[in-house]
A and B are shown apart, each in its own frame.
Chain A
Amino acid sequence: MQTMVDLQTISELYKIMLKIRLTEEKVAEIYPSDKIQSPIHLSIGQEAVAAGVCMALGPENKIFSTYRSHGIFVAKGGDLRLMFAELYGKETGCAGGKGGSMHLLAPEVGFLGSSAIVASTIPLATGNALASDYQDRKWVSTAFFGDGALGEGVFYESLNFAILKNLPVLYICENNGLAVHSRVEDRHHNSDLYRYGERLGVTGSRHDGDDVLTVYTVTKNAIKDILLGGPPILLEFTTCRWSEHVGPGTDHDEMYRDQDKVSQALANDPINRIQKVLQTQFEITDGQLSTWRNNIVDEINQAVIFAEESSFPSPEDLYQGVFMKQDI
């Protein structure tokens, strides 16, 4: 898609994607040390979706997400130190060490929470949009979910309610074609996921989720339409999960994988694609690129040091927070 995205935005998108990639690689590198004692679901290969959508949303619009949220946390502008501390189970983590990798959040930048139950945050984004609508459509609420979520009933229930009430909600289906080790075509008679809301009245469209400029532009337009009073929108972004479902490695040779799809995805690295745009259309130099990269590497290293140096919660913290204390 030809877009009129300015250099500054493209540079930011590139930096976010690179930051996600390098962050995930750092997580994978640390993982065998057992310093991260919790399951990790990496999003290497899917960076363009998180970067494009979250950059378009900015911090003022809200998101709810899934257990595969490291990239979304980074893209929404969460503090990387708090994310690493959370993965380490430290008290300084974004959830005080109680959530871990699957339950990231950064409410200060509109990332309200993530759940390990597939599809379960789709109604939350819908309800949050109800609250926005109640306050004169102050913000757009966004649900991130994978293709697996379309097997769950709450997806349909939520879309039905959202269109009924014309709520300012954006549904982002991050379609990597896999639910754990099951292909979408083995789970759904109809693989046109973007059309699943049609009969309910929710318009959807499918786009190349590895082309960050497309993701950004399509999302930006959707947000604009919704904030002007338009109906909820479903966007399907196709992408490829380079990593195994859970864990630090890859499993490209396993039987469930579509070999052609994997090779194509690896050959069309979404980060390389946008890097080429920067180099050829905007003449960004190698020197500039490596400065950006070095800054990101520094930030990641600082975040890891922060996590390592932070303390674990105390045993008494186990009992804190079952209920919010009432201030009356």
Chain B
Amino acid sequence: MFINYGQALQNALDQAMEQDPNVIAMGIGVDDHKAIFGSTMGLVQKYGAKRVFDTPLAEAAMTGVAIGAALGGLKPVHIHIRVDFLYLALDQLLNLAAKWHYMFGMQGHLPFVVRAVIGRSWGQGAQHSQSLQSFFMHVPGIKLVMPTTPYDAKGLLLAAIADPNPVVMIEHRLLYYIEDEVPEKPFTMKLGPAVIRRHGKDVTIVANSYMVVEALTAAKFLEEQKIDVEIVDPVCLAPLDAETILTSVQKTGRLLVVDTSWVCCGASSEIAALVAEKAHDALHAPIRRLGTQPVSCPVSKPLEEEFYPNAHNIVEVVYSMLGKKWENQKIPSLTTPFKGPF
């Protein structure tokens, strides 16, 4: 079926709930008419208020509630409409959930999923636009996935729900508009392997989430200039598929990492360090990184555009990595259909 990202998430959750009566969906707004951008649409009508429910605005305790429920045999999917709200839940996620299985000598069983959406564009501002993947990569014990396509959204969400460990899934608001062919039947992707979005020989671009879209746009332009980039989408950042990244860099000799977040101590730092440590001899040029600028996200449109990395920036960096002179050609910019209010 040809569906968008939000519909794919809805379809996955629906199928998981149909298969397993212990799967529940909770979170602020999951049962309202907007249904988290459609990703929980119709579920409360189908499964009832005991399995699909709105929560008080209490991210910390509600995360603990999900943990306690998981220890009692349920499989909660706790949904946050913005990733930024997870700061309120970090004590529960990182002090408890991440440590539970290890700290208690492999006893206890925490099958729960946290879904959270990165906001971007239309003036989301400093507190509605952040991507916190590096927090979950840093602390051992949480799996972290970032689906890019509707296919990933379904395959990774079903895998996350089936996984016996806490899994955080970071989605992207702009990806909700992407449509794709998605199998109708339930299927799972493995939590780990990266996806090669484009094969190429000149430069490896490791990009995640919405940055894959920008990287693909850049790749198309570069192709016309006879530059052939390979795009590796980790999809799962914890555990990270080091092998696919290293194999790609061994082939191309060049690495650019493009992350949806800040570069300082970010996912891009970890991937750069991995390649510097394990594939240094293969490198023909210094590793480069692109991420959001080291400031809080501003609202004003020209500032916001400057804040985010885009296809144009990617092309510029690829040129410099190849030692080519940049003539500042016009790069067709991406137009996204996203328009407010939320």
Contacts and interface: CB of A to CB of B under 8 A. Distances in A.
B105 A128 contact: no
Most chain B C-beta atoms within 10 Å of own C-beta, residue among A95, A157, A160: A157
A69 interface: no
B61 A96 contact: no
A219 to B, nearest CB: 20
Given A117-B91, A130-B68, A131-B74, A123 B164 contact: no
A120 interface: yes
A318 to B, nearest CB: 10
A179 interface: no
Contacts of A112: 71, 108
Interface stretch (B50-58, B127-135, B322-330): B50-58
Report whether over half of chain A's contact residues are helix, strand or loop; otherwise say mixed: mixed
B105 A154 contact: no
Interface in A256-299: none
Interface stretch (A98-106, A188-196, A206-214): A98-106
A212 B107 CA distance: 32
Interface stretch (A27-35, A38-46, A227-235, A320-328): A320-328
Contacts of B60: 123, 153-154, 157
Nearest to B108: A113
Contacts of A113: 71, 100, 104, 108
Contacts of A115: 95-96
A97 interface: yes
B182 interface: no
- Interface footprint category on B: 35 or more
A141 interface: yes
Interface residues of A, number: 48
A77 interface: no
A103 B74 CA distance: 23
A165 to B, nearest CB: 8
B190 to A, nearest CB: 10
Contacts of B286: none
A126 B65 contact: yes
Given A123-B68, A161-B65, A98 B105 contact: yes
A128 B62 contact: no
A195 B139 CA distance: 38
Interface string B57-93: 0101111111111111110100000000000000110
Interface of A: 62, 64, 93-99, 103, 105, 107, 112-113, 115, 117, 120-132, 134-135, 141, 153-154, 157-158, 160-161, 164, 320-328
27 contacts: A64-B68, A95-B107, A98-B104, A105-B107, A107-B108, A120-B64, A123-B92, A124-B64, A124-B67, A127-B72, A127-B76, A128-B69, A130-B69, A130-B72, A131-B72, A135-B73, A141-B68, A154-B64, A157-B61, A161-B55, A161-B58, A161-B61, A321-B101, A321-B105, A324-B101, A324-B165, A325-B164
